[in-house]
Amino acid sequence: MTTSKPRSLPTDPYWKKYYWDLRKVAWNCARCSTCKWVDTWEIKDAKFAKVCPSSSYYLFDAYSCQGRMDLSLALLDGDITYDDDPDILDIMYKCNTCGGCDAACKRVQDMEPLRVMLEMRAKFVQDGQLLPQLMPIIENLRKEDNMMMAKKTDRGRWAEGLDVKDATREKAEVIFHAGCRACFDEEMHKIVRTAVTLLKNAGVDVGIMGKDETCCGSRAYYMGWRSEFTKYAENNIQGWTNAGARTIVAACADGYWGMKRLYPEVGSKFEVLHMVEFLDRLIKEGRIKFGRKVPMRVTYHDPCHLGRRSNVYVPGQPIMGVYEPPRDIIRSIPGVELVEMYRIKEYAWCCGGGGGVIDAYPDFNNFTATQRILEARETGAEAIVTACTWCVRSLTDAARTLDDRIKVIDIVELVERAI
């Protein structure tokens, strides 16, 4: 690929580090609009042919991936400044960071445009260009170590009464990381309590950090606050090391992605698994056995950061998104029928909660989640099953908005019903 030369090269150290890689992607964007659509060979209903929530909701090309490449290139080359357009921050932050554009772009260009958008957010923060709606979230993170506008003293309440190791006081081979959403959203407490119980009953040497657990930092990373991410990554790595852990199990997709893909850059050497990967392993090893039928027709929602955002290609070692383990679990449960939605796996439609959207743009979040509920309804499923507490939150709220009968459940709850 070739690029034209900018009028002047950057002097800022940040841009000098990333400039040419980012500019190559932004400049080589063909403006083909592929980033907005599911592979046309895969889709069978035009109602569900789109993959980009923001371009679907805001209906201006600026809010598509290719529009953001235009904006990024103009900023990189100095053709515009922050003062030239008051909508710059809105355009770049009205994005779920779901990676739908990445999956589509790899199909035709083999480029990673989402990386450009994430680095631009980091540059905005570095330059003091801060989205006002996110500042209370970040300030609470700095003060209370969570993304939920809650007090850190309440972090361990979800585990009250559970007979599980306190990994801050005794060694544990496996650390279960509940995550901010599950710790402070009371409707999510049953999910993580069930998860820990399943692990314990399967004979896993599992512990939790309890009230001393802190944010994984992943959502701060997506929002552009890189120093906050590094702080929490280092803190968690140290805590797990002190506990003698070998494996970290995450309950949400955001935490999984950050711990799996970003933490190694901060020095992590732990095995990182999402709960569905661990459950799938335990079921196939015969350590979890099903004794009851669950007569239910369900569809599965792929969390973005568990699925396509985890598609990483290392030379000689393809690391694919976590698509099959949750489906294998569902198919293994007696009585359950799995029916797929139109958009699945690398083309799955986002729940709407990622990238800070659930905090900054609740109307956009609700639109995106509502579209997913409508798609699930088309399958005739009684329930939409997923594997991320943020997805459960977004989809549950959307189902309530629609007054829809479809249930939204985490996969660990489905497993518990069959035991």
pLDDT at 348: 95
Give the rounded percent of residues in the chain with a pLDDT score beyond 70.
Answer: 93
Paired tokens of 316: 């000689």
For residues 357 and 355, give the distance between their C-alpha atoms in angstroms, rounded to a whole number: 6
Average pLDDT over residues 341-358: 95
Paired tokens of 45: 């209903």
Paired tokens of 296: 């239910």
Q: DSSP label at 348? A: P
pLDDT at 108: 82
Predicted confidence (pLDDT) per residue in 299-318, tens digit: 999 999 999 998 765 445 55
pLDDT at 1: 44
pLDDT at 10: 62
pLDDT at 343: 94
Strand partners, 177: 250
Mean pLDDT over each residue of the chain, to the nearest integer: 92
Residue with tokens 């040497």: 205
pLDDT at 15: 64
Question: Within 10 A of 352 (CB to CB), how many other CB atoms are there?
Answer: 31
- Measured in degrees and rounded to the nearest 5, phi and psi for residue 226 equal -75, -35
Strand partners, 249: 176, 273
Strand partners, 385: 300, 409
SS (H, E, C) 353-417: CHHHHHHHCHHHHHHHHHHHHHHHHHCCCCEEEECCHHHHHHHHHHHHHHCCCCEEEEHHHHHHH
pLDDT higher for 206 or 81?
A: 206
- In this prediction, residue 44 has a pLDDT band, given cuts at 50, 70 and 90, of low
pLDDT at 66 over 90: yes
Pick from 20-29, 197-206, 225-234, 351-360: least confident: 20-29
Intra-chain end-to-end CA distance of the chain, in Å: 55
Rounded to two decimals, what is the model's pTM? 0.94
pLDDT at 194 over 90: yes
Pairing of the two strands 247-250 and 174-177: parallel
pLDDT at 339: 98
- In this prediction, residue 8 has a pLDDT band, given cuts at 50, 70 and 90, of low
Paired tokens of 134: 């996110």
Taking a C-beta distance cutoff of 8 angstroms, is the pair 38, 51 a contact?
A: yes
One-letter identity of residue 162:
L
- In this prediction, residue 119 has a pLDDT band, given cuts at 50, 70 and 90, of very high
For residues 228 and 231, give the distance between their C-alpha atoms in angstroms, rounded to a whole number: 5
For 287-290, which contacts have Cβ atoms below 8 Å and span 24 or more sequence positions?
287/202, 287/203, 288/198, 288/201, 288/202, 288/415, 288/419, 289/419, 290/332, 290/333, 290/334, 290/418, 290/419
Taking a C-beta distance cutoff of 8 angstroms, is the pair 159, 193 a contact?
A: yes
Q: Where are the alpha helices (DSSP H) in 59-187?
A: 65-76, 88-93, 100-108, 113-126, 135-144, 180-184
DSSP 258-275: IIIIIGGGGT---EEEEH
Query: Which 3 state secondary structure label does DSSP give 311?
Result: coil
Question: Within 10 A of 203 (CB to CB), how many other CB atoms are there?
Answer: 10
Strand partners, 336: 296
For residues 415 and 419, give the distance between their C-alpha atoms in angstroms, rounded to a whole number: 7
- In this prediction, residue 271 has a pLDDT band, given cuts at 50, 70 and 90, of very high
CA-closest candidate to residue 231, choices 259, 266, 265 = 266
Distances (CA, A) of 82 to 89, 90, 273, 355, 394: 9, 12, 40, 21, 32
One-letter identity of residue 132:
P
